[in-house]
């Protein structure tokens, strides 16, 4: 029960890494808000782990504010916010990515971090504590061809994590990131372009440990960074990647 009594918000918690993180946090004693743009998925996960749920569009200021306010009114100020919601564009030459796809990737992957920080940091400062965890990607550390603007958005998340960490540390607020290699989640076909055994084998050949990351892998790392065991750790962008970035 390493998060006993803690209150956590996990975005994109209706599937994949977010579902894994929300599930583990709840098992470790936290009150977890399962937040997702897919209401049906959020309801499913929330019912399974016995947690509240919320529909949220993390790129929309009003939606993010409503999510934070509703959770705070019902459960109190959150202790942990996990910015997990994310999207990508299909593998495409950089000059051919549409402006709409570019804007959507940066709105969901980057602006969302700003919006949640704007909503929770004042309360974190007033209390003198809080944890923010951003789920970035190995794509932001070692970019893959044709995932160009997705790569850039995740690199932004890593830089934002360090910038937030150094500014918020004097207020007792820790900010870290995880850089997972691709997992067998709903986003995987978008990374591959076409989900075939051949494409999977090609992708796996770049991961020294020889497998995709799992929601459990990310949940284990997230649990550590968000727990009091990591009270001296801030500004870290931890690779959970089977050696992909070596």
Sign, CA dihedral 211-137-166-34, equals negative
pLDDT at residue 46, rounded to an integer: 98
Is 101 within 8 Å of 95 (Cβ atoms)?
Answer: no
**What mean pLDDT, rounded, does the chain reach?**
95
Query: Which of 33, 23, 109, 134 is closest to 77 using CA atoms?
Result: 33
Count of Cβ atoms closer than 10 Å to residue 100 Cβ? 9
pLDDT digit string, tens, across residues 153-185: 999 999 999 999 999 999 999 999 999 998 877
Distance CA 32, CA 163 (A): 26
Residue ranges of the chain with per-residue pLDDT less than 70: none
Distance CA 22, CA 30 (A): 9
pLDDT digit string, tens, across residues 183-201: 877 777 777 777 788 888 8
Instruction: Indicate the length of the chain as a whole number.
Output: 246
Distance CA 13, CA 36 (A): 6
- The full set of domains in the chain, from first to last, is 7-240 (3.40.50.720)
CA distances from 82 to 86, 133, 204, 217 (A): 12, 5, 27, 15
- The verdict on whether 224 is a catalytic residue reads no
Record the pTM: 0.95
pLDDT at residue 188, rounded to an integer: 76
What letter would DSSP give residue 109? I
pLDDT at residue 18, rounded to an integer: 97
pLDDT at residue 69, rounded to an integer: 98
Which is the catalytic residue, given 17, 124, 149, 150?
A: 150
Is 43 within 8 Å of 53 (Cβ atoms)?
Answer: yes
- Which helix (H) or strand (E) segment holds residue 63: the answer is helix 61-75
pLDDT digit string, tens, across residues 82-100: 999 999 999 999 999 999 9
């Amino acid at each position: 029960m390493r998060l006993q009594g803690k209150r956590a918000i996990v975005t994109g918690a209706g599937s994949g890494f977010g579902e894994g993180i929300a599930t583990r946090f709840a098992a470790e004693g936290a009150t977890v808000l399962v937040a997702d743009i897919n209401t049906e998925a959020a309801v499913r996960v929330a019912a399974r782990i016995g947690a509240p749920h919320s529909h949220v569009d993390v790129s929309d200021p009003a939606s993010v504010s409503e999510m934070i306010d509703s959770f705070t009114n019902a459960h109190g100020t959150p202790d942990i916010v996990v910015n997990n919601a994310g999207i990508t564009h299909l593998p495409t030459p950089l000059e051919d990515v549409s402006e709409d796809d570019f804007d959507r990737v940066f709105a969901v992957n980057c602006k969302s971090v700003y919006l949640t920080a704007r909503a929770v940091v004042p309360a974190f400062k007033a209390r003198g504590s809080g944890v923010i965890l951003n789920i970035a990607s190995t794509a932001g550390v070692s970019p893959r061809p044709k995932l160009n603007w997705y790569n850039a958005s995740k690199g932004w998340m890593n830089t934002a994590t360090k910038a937030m960490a150094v500014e918020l540390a004097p207020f007792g607020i820790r900010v870290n990131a995880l850089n997972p290699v691709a997992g067998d989640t709903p986003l995987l076909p978008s990374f591959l372009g076409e989900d075939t055994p051949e494409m999977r084998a090609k992708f796996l050949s770049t991961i020294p440990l020889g497998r995709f990351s799992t929601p459990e892998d990310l949940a284990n790392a997230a649990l550590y960074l968000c727990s009091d065991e990591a009270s001296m750790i801030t500004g870290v962008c931890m690779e959970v990647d089977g050696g992909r970035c070596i």
